[in-house]
Amino acid sequence: MNIIIILHGWGSCSENWLEVKKSLEGEGYRVLVPDLPGFGNTLPPKEEWFVDNYVEWLRNFCEKQNVSQFFLFGHSFGGRIAIKFAVKYYEKLKGLILCSSAGIKPKRNPVVLLIAKIGKIIFHLPVIRKFYPLCQKIFYVKILRKTDYLKAVGIMKDIFKNIVDEDLTPYLSQIKVPTLILWGKEDKMTPVKDAYLMHQEIKNSKLEVFKGIGHSIRRENPTLLVEEIKKFLK
């Protein structure tokens, strides 16, 4: 029996993937959709995590579930974890599916970079350090348009910053397992140009771009998503 592990996006949880899970299980697949640490019913880490920490958490999860060979599906933030896992633990994967995956760090406007550097200097001055959290909020939400920063609570805000600050582009060319890349053409969270870059860098990959679909294919057209997954798993 083929096993597929689905990694949800930032701010999401396993419950949001129940429809996709049930559809695939109805076709005879074993589907695991864990709540990543800090989401759903899983407690946040006690210290700051990076993508690598989530990769090791996934490895431990697989061992506890007695899963040694499987297909790995990553949506958005889950795609970040999937990319690094596919490089470090490629021998465990039968295939990789990246769906509207995050991981490519956008090029920032030189003016924005200058403001960020000046801001770090100014807001470390004791007299105005108390305003630093507000400036972080402005930088991530207004400038980088990372609205997930607002939803993060406690240590998850620091983890969010660690996650989005890492560019995974150099890892793409190291992926050797068969890879399916699924993307909505109207995606505003992870632009479709990232899909073409991933397809270019991942040699053994296939790209499918869907018109009229945004960032959340599993909500906008779950039937289409399941059909594409099934074709890849066969």
pLDDT, tens digit, 9 for 90 and up, residues 111-121: 544 555 555 55
The answer to whether the beta carbons of residues 45 and 182 sit under 8 Å apart is: no
Domain that holds residue 131: 110-161
d(CA 212, CA 222): 14
Residues 47 and 141 in one domain: no
Query: What's the domain count of the chain?
Result: 2
- The pLDDT of 93-119, averaged and rounded, is 76
Question: Cα–Cα distance between 130 and 225 in angstroms, integer?
Answer: 46
Distance of alpha carbon 194 from alpha carbon 201, whole angstroms:
11
Sign of torsion over alpha carbons 182, 187, 188, 189: negative
pLDDT in tens, 11-68: 999 999 999 999 999 999 999 999 999 999 999 999 999 999 999 999 999 999 999 9
Domain end residue (candidates: 140, 161, 182): 161
Q: Give yes or no: residues 78 and 177 share one domain.
A: yes
93 plus 21 within the same structural domain: yes
Quick one: 142 and 27 in the same domain? Answer: no
- 100 touches 182 (CB < 8 A): yes
Do 94 and 196 have their domain in common?
yes
Per-residue pLDDT band for 166 (boundaries 50, 70, 90) equals very high
pLDDT at 145: 43
Who contacts 127 (Cβ-Cβ below 8 Å, separation ≥6)? none
Q: Are residues 91 and 17 in the same domain?
A: yes
Same domain for 116 and 101: no
